[in-house]
């Protein structure tokens, strides 16, 4: 919003409302997580294999014998939550010194670096494209269909292609993350850079402001709520891109490779794959929250800046 | 107030504006507008909604181009006047930038004009003192009331000392009491700065209280039907609103507005009368 209208909530009241809102969403999140775990273990309670203590070996005493035997609920397909948690504290492979948690943290940080570079490149690319499009209807009409079409190409098909051109390197992974990042930013910023108050534009024209000045002092600041909404989506998308891209890019150190490996050796340790999936999810959430924190800091003091 | 020999600040000759939107029927928003505005004058445009007041203001400010006719401002075409930053604009809504403090909002035009930083700060302060908001420099717009926001908008418009202030129903959204206070404030500012003001309103008391001349317009097509010279003595204050002359003038403007509304069929006949009126009025005052 580019116009200050009267009758806005008092800033202090708005701030406490916001804090309360955040507290509620954290509670809701925890509630849903607990529900999910309850359903998970509930299914195993009804139709899993006999329950034993965490980390038990065959022959240990049975704690609970479920009335049914559903194949999908056995310990291979659906390991116990506590066994997954326990797996984090165990060596990530036989004889290894590092625990699975340490191993996954290292892999996640590696993947995050790839994703973050792709995210920044994609963010700038998206901003640049949107900037061109809002200044030229002709280019917008000519090129936006291609931007949209680009996203209909499945990443699974595109990844090997990029790897073929760029070679097996981190660059491939970064480009895939870029590819997934630039799209939401482009689309959101085409709207955002036009979201200024038209009367503010008249004002700028009455000052005989240059295009650059209008861009810097009106279009861009007015678009920031749109930009951050897109960046939050892009943050998680870039992580997904990096994880998928590591396979095609032949990267050994990241989460993508870890997931592939644990998938191959699933039978010997199903908890490890689940742990790796949880690590990937946490990485996405962490990146999302970092962007959200930056957004709150940047848009501080701006009413109506609370995006969804 | 203004000398007779001096060239007008704004000269509109035979201005016409026709809006055409796609293949819809065209709207003649302005027709045959002739008007001279002298330096330091306070001219109000009054008329019913849709009679082209805003359009006329935008034509003067070079925000839209007339279909026909000529707009000369300070002896040059309106487009050149705009490029030379002769205009300050104030709209009905304050149109402040949410992300800037009060002070930074007032600084905005000075940044665009490339004035030195020290001057920006000094000017912004000075202007905010003028509108009595000196204590709110670091506030954000949403922390201010509607009347205060509008005062920021006025300070912003005055900050770069434009030759002409164009105000489009600046107090239209305010309650009656705030509006009257703002009226006095604008008069005070006008007297202190000597800026030429073109002021759109649909409030008769406001127009009479503020103006040197009230330009009465009628709709479809937008024309000037009369120009009423407001000879209330200056400086004016709240007491001016209670003098017999004030009431006479309010009545005169009201009748000028009504004259048109009662006889919508007589377009041509009435269209001609006012231009005669205007000529006489201008001749009489000088
Ligand atoms: N941009 C525009 N496009 C088409 N028609 C317009 C436009 N602006 C104004 N008009 C028309 O011109 C007429 C005068 O409008 P306006 O100047 O806004 O009137 P006022 O300010 O006196 O209420 C109205 O009939 C309005 O619909
Ligand atoms: Mg209007």
Chain B positions touching A221 (Cβ under 8 A) are 97, 99
Q: What is the pLDDT of residue B95?
A: 94
Residues A274, A199 within the same domain: yes
State mean pLDDT over B262-286. Answer: 39
Residues A145, A226 within the same domain: yes
Q: Minimum-distance ligand to the CA of B29?
A: 1
Please check the confidence at residue A52 and state whether its pLDDT lies above 80.
yes
ipTM of the complex: 0.82
> Nearest-CA distance from A307 to chain B in Å?
16
Residue A232: partners with Cβ closer than 8 Å, 6 or more residues away? A288, A291, A292, A295, A307
Query: What digits encode the pLDDT tens for the residues B174-185?
Result: 888 888 888 888
Number of structural domains in chain A: 2
Last residue of a domain, one of A45, A78, A111: A78
Residue A203: partners with Cβ closer than 8 Å, 6 or more residues away? B89, B91, B95
Return the bridge partners of B16, or none. B68
Return the bridge partners of B46, or none. B201, B216
Q: What percent of chain B has pLDDT over 90?
A: 54
Residue A30: partners with Cβ closer than 8 Å, 6 or more residues away? none
Q: What is the pLDDT of residue B262?
A: 46
Does residue A292 lie within any of the structural domains? yes
Residue B209: partners with Cβ closer than 8 Å, 6 or more residues away? B183, B187, B232, B236, B240, B241, B246
Q: Cα(A114)–Cα(A243) distance, rounded to whole angstroms? A: 9
CA–centroid distance, B55 to ligand 2, in Å, is 7
Does residue A87 lie within any of the structural domains? no
Residues A149, A13 within the same domain: no
Does residue A35 lie within any of the structural domains? yes
The residue in chain A having the minimum alpha-carbon distance to the alpha carbon of residue B161 is A207
Contact A197, A156 (CB under 8 A): no
State mean pLDDT over B128-134. Answer: 88
Contact B16, B30 (CB under 8 A): yes
Q: Is B29 close to ligand 1, i.e. is its CB under 6 Å away?
A: yes
CA–centroid distance, B213 to ligand 1, in Å, is 23
Residues A165, A201 within the same domain: yes
Query: What digits encode the pLDDT tens for the residues A194-224?
Result: 999 999 999 999 999 999 999 999 999 999 9
Last residue of a domain, one of A78, A110, A137: A78
Does residue A83 lie within any of the structural domains? no
CA–centroid distance, B218 to ligand 1, in Å, is 13
Mean confidence (pLDDT) of chain A: 89
Q: Is B51 close to ligand 1, i.e. is its CB under 6 Å away?
A: yes
Is the bond into B182 cis (omega within 30 degrees of 0)? no
Identify the weakest region by mean pLDDT among A26-40, A50-64, A106-120, A258-272: A50-64
Chain-chain contact of B112 with A204 (C-beta, under 8 angstroms)? yes
Residues A16, A140 within the same domain: no
Does residue A306 lie within any of the structural domains? no
CA–centroid distance, B256 to ligand 1, in Å, is 22
Residue-by-residue DSSP string for B29-85: EEEEEEEEE-TT-EEEEE-STTSSHHHHHHHHTTSS--SEEEEEETTEEHHHHHHTT
Residues A153, A230 within the same domain: yes
Residues A57, A140 within the same domain: no
H-type alpha helices, chain B:
53-60, 78-83, 102-112, 117-130, 146-158, 176-193, 204-210, 244-262, 267-285
The residue in chain A having the minimum alpha-carbon distance to the alpha carbon of residue B160 is A207
The shortest CB-CB distance from B98 to any of A4, A203, A209 is to A4
Chain-chain contact of A224 with B99 (C-beta, under 8 angstroms)? yes
Chain-chain contact of B85 with A208 (C-beta, under 8 angstroms)? yes
CA–centroid distance, B187 to ligand 2, in Å, is 22
Residue nearest to atom 12 of ligand 1 (CA): B29
Q: What share of chain A is helix, strand, coil (3-state, %, to 5)?
A: 75, 0, 25
Residues A168, A269 within the same domain: yes
Please check the confidence at residue A6 and state whether its pLDDT lies above 50.
no
Residue B27 — pLDDT band, cuts 50, 70, 90? confident
Identify the weakest region by mean pLDDT among A241-255, B20-34, B184-198, B263-277: B263-277
Residue nearest to atom 14 of ligand 1 (CA): B52
Q: Minimum-distance ligand to the CA of B52?
A: 1
Q: Residue A25 sits in which domain range?
A: 2-78
Distances (CA, A) of A204 to A200, A209, B126: 6, 5, 22
Structure tokens at A178: 């870029």
Identify the weakest region by mean pLDDT among A13-27, A177-191, B105-119, B150-164: A13-27
Query: What digits encode the pLDDT tens for the residues A286-298?
Result: 999 999 999 999 9
Please check the confidence at residue B260 and state whether its pLDDT lies above 70.
no
CATH code (residue A180):
1.10.3720.10
Last residue of a domain, one of A25, A46, A78: A78
Residues A259, A174 within the same domain: yes
Residue nearest to atom 7 of ligand 1 (CA): B19
The residue in chain B having the minimum alpha-carbon distance to the alpha carbon of residue A200 is B95
Please check the confidence at residue A124 and state whether its pLDDT lies above 60.
yes
Contact A82, A75 (CB under 8 A): no
Report yes or no: B222 at the A interface, CB cutoff 8 Å.
Answer: no
Q: What is the pLDDT of residue A15?
A: 66
Q: What is the pLDDT of residue B212?
A: 94
The residue in chain B having the minimum alpha-carbon distance to the alpha carbon of residue A205 is B63
Report yes or no: A216 at the B interface, CB cutoff 8 Å.
Answer: no
Residues A70, A212 within the same domain: no
Q: What percent of chain A has pLDDT over 70?
A: 93
Q: Which atom of ligand 1 is nearest to the CA of B57?
A: 17
Q: Is B55 close to ligand 1, i.e. is its CB under 6 Å away?
A: yes
Mean confidence (pLDDT) of chain B: 85
Pocket test for ligand 1, best of B29, B51, B59 (most atoms within 8 A of CB): B29
Please check the confidence at residue A240 and state whether its pLDDT lies above 60.
yes
Contact A295, A232 (CB under 8 A): yes
Residues A61, A145 within the same domain: no
Residues A106, A205 within the same domain: yes
Chain-chain contact of B82 with A213 (C-beta, under 8 angstroms)? no
The shortest CB-CB distance from A221 to any of B97, B109, B173 is to B97
Please check the confidence at residue A24 and state whether its pLDDT lies above 80.
yes
Q: What is the pLDDT of residue A12?
A: 56
State mean pLDDT over B221-248. Answer: 90
Alpha carbon of residue A154 to chain centroid: 18
Does residue A93 lie within any of the structural domains? no
The secondary structure element, H or E, covering residue A269 is: none
The residue in chain B having the minimum alpha-carbon distance to the alpha carbon of residue A218 is B97
Does residue A114 lie within any of the structural domains? yes
Q: Is B134 close to ligand 1, i.e. is its CB under 6 Å away?
A: no
Q: Which atom of ligand 1 is nearest to the CA of B222?
A: 14
Q: Is B50 close to ligand 1, i.e. is its CB under 6 Å away?
A: yes
Does residue A232 lie within any of the structural domains? yes
Identify the weakest region by mean pLDDT among A64-78, A145-159, B248-262: B248-262
Contact A219, A164 (CB under 8 A): no
Query: What digits encode the pLDDT tens for the residues B80-93?
Result: 999 999 999 999 89
């Amino acid at each position: 919003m580019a116009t200050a209208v009267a009758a806005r909530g008092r800033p202090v009241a708005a701030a406490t409302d916001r804090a309360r809102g955040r507290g509620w969403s954290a509670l809701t999140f925890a509630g849903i997580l607990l529900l999910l775990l309850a359903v998970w273990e509930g299914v195993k309670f009804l139709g899993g294999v006999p329950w034993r203590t965490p980390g038990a070996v065959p022959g240990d005493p049975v704690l609970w014998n479920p009335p049914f035997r559903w194949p999908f609920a056995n310990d291979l397909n659906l390991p116990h939550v506590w066994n997954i948690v326990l797996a984090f504290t165990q060596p990530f492979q036989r004889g290894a010194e590092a625990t699975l948690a340490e191993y996954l943290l290292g892999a996640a940080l590696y993947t995050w670096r790839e994703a973050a570079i792709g995210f920044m490149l994609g963010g700038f690319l998206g901003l640049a494209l949107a900037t061109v499009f809002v200044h030229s209807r002709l280019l917008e009409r000519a090129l936006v269909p291609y931007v949209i079409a680009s996203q209909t190409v499945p990443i699974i098909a595109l990844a090997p292609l990029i790897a073929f051109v760029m070679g097996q390197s981190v660059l491939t992974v970064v480009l895939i993350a870029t590819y997934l990042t630039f799209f939401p930013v482009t689309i959101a910023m085409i709207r955002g850079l036009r979201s200024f108050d038209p009367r503010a534009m008249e004002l700028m024209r009455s000052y005989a402001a240059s295009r650059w000045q209008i861009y810097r002092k009106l279009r861009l600041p007015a678009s920031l709520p749109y930009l951050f909404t897109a960046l939050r989506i892009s943050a998680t998308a870039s992580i997904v891109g990096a994880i998928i891209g590591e396979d095609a890019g032949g990267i050994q150190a990241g989460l993508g490779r870890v997931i592939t490996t644990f998938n191959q050796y699933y039978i010997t340790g199903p908890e490890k794959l689940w742990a790796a999936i949880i690590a990937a999810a946490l990485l996405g959430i962490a990146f999302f929250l970092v962007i959200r924190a930056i957004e709150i800091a940047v848009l501080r003091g701006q009413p109506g800046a609370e995006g969804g | 107030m203004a000398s007779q020999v001096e060239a007008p600040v704004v000269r509109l000759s035979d201005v016409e504006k026709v809006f055409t939107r796609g293949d819809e029927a065209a709207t003649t928003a302005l027709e045959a507008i002739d008007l001279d505005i002298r330096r330091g004058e306070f001219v109000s445009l009054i008329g019913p909604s849709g009679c082209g007041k805003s359009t006329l203001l935008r034509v003067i400010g070079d925000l839209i181009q007339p279909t026909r006719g000529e707009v000369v401002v300070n002896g040059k075409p309106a487009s050149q006047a705009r490029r030379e930053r002769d205009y300050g604009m104030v709209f009905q809504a304050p149109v402040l930038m949410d992300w800037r403090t009060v002070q930074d909002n007032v600084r905005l035009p000075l940044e665009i004009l490339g004035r030195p930083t020290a001057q920006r700060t000094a000017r912004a302060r000075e202007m905010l003192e003028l509108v009595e908001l000196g204590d709110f420099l670091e506030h954000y717009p949403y922390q201010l009331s509607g009347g205060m926001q509008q005062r920021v908008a006025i300070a912003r418009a005055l900050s770069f000392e434009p030759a002409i202030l164009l105000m489009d129903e600046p107090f239209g959204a305010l309650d009656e009491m705030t509006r009257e206070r703002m009226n006095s404030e604008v008069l005070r500012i006008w007297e202190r700065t000597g800026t030429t003001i073109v002021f759109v309103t649909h409030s008769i008391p406001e127009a009479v209280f503020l103006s040197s001349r009230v330009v009465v317009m009628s709709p479809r097509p937008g024309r000037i039907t009369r120009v009423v010279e407001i000879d209330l003595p200056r400086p004016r204050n709240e007491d001016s609103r209670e003098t017999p002359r004030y009431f006479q003038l309010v009545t005169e403007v009201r009748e000028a507005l009504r004259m048109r509304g009662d006889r919508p069929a007589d377009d041509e006949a009435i269209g001609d009368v006012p231009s005669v009126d205007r000529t006489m009025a201008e001749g009489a005052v000088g």
